[in-house]
Amino acid sequence: MSISKFPWKVLLAGLTLFSGILSVNPIIVKAQSNPGLTIFGGVDRENQLSYYLDFGGRANNWDRYRLRIPGEKLTEGATRFIIKYPDYFEGKFDPDKVEVRVGDESLPIRGVIWDQENYLLEIDLENPLTEARKVEIVLSNVKNPRYGGTFYFNCDVVAAGEIPIRLYVGTWIISIG
């Protein structure tokens, strides 16, 4: 077949159809995995803590929360992390799948208490964290709430000093769905 007899109209129509399909096909992205920008959040910028949701924060799905605390927020160290979440958060936590990480090291945990009636998750460390270091609390096997929304998770620590006082560290503003 010579070039002059090649069905250019058929080829052009096929390319047009193919490019139309590509432009309509949505691109899969990880949405709501990070805190993003909060303009009206009710929490001062210096008190907002960073987080990451490994599986995208989709409503009514399983997820892994990586709740981060910068070292400058832990000047008094920590023996216990207390996470208070709102009463309208209907998700579920797995106390057996909680980890506290400093760098690549997982800290030994004495116990984890999930107090559903008071909307608290308490993580008691085996050995106190005495120096100010960046911490990541990893909550695995979290069942996200059925309905999405914005949830304020407040974090307090019990100081590692001689006087075990409870200190506010900051707030994770978590978006689901």
Q: For the chain, what is the mean pLDDT?
A: 85
pLDDT of 50 over the 90 cut: yes
13 in a structural domain = no
- The yes-or-no verdict on residue 48 having pLDDT over 50 is yes
Q: Is the pLDDT of residue 17 over 90?
A: no
The answer on pLDDT for 38 being more than 90 is no
Give residue 88's pLDDT band: very low, low, confident or very high (50, 70, 90). very high
- Tell me if 98 sits within 8 A of 139, measured CB to CB: yes
Q: What phi, psi does 46 have (nearest 5°)? A: -70, -15
Instruction: Please report whether residue 37 resides in a domain.
Output: no
Alpha-carbon distances of 157 from 30, 60, 122, 123, 167, rounded to whole Å? 31, 29, 9, 9, 5
CATH number at residue 54: 2.60.40.1290
* 151 belongs to a structural domain: yes
**48-71 average pLDDT score:** 97
Tell me, yes or no, whether 62 lies in a domain: yes
Is residue 102 a part of any domain in this protein?
yes
Condensed to tens digits (0 to 9), the pLDDT of residues 128-173 reads 999 889 999 999 999 999 999 999 999 999 999 888 899 999 999 9
Q: Are strands 78-84 and 149-158 parallel, antiparallel or unpaired?
A: antiparallel
Residue 39 lies in a domain: no
For residue 85, is it within any domain? Answer: yes
Residue 45: the pLDDT is 84
Lowest mean pLDDT among 56-60, 70-74, 84-88, 128-132: 128-132
**Residue 51 neighbours by CB distance under 10 Å:** 22
Model confidence band, residue 113 (pLDDT cutoffs 50, 70, 90): very high
Find the domain containing 139 and state its range.
45-176
CB 68 within 8 A of CB 170: no
The dihedral sign for the CA sequence 108, 124, 139, 115: positive
Buried-state track 14-41, b at ≥16 Cβ within 10 A, e below 16: eeeeeeeeeeeeeeeeeebbebeeeeee
CA 11: distance to chain centroid? 48
- The predicted structure's pLDDT at residue 18: 52
Helix (H, G, I), strand (E, B) or coil at 45: helix
Tokens 């000093």 -> residue? 161
Going by C-alpha positions, the residue among 76, 73, 74, 80 that lies closest to residue 158 is 80
Q: Can you tell me which residue has the tokens 């911490």?
A: 135
Looking at the structure of the chain, the number of domains it has is 1
Evaluate whether residue 58 is within a structural domain: yes
Q: Tell me what pLDDT residue 46 has.
A: 86
pTM of the complete model = 0.77
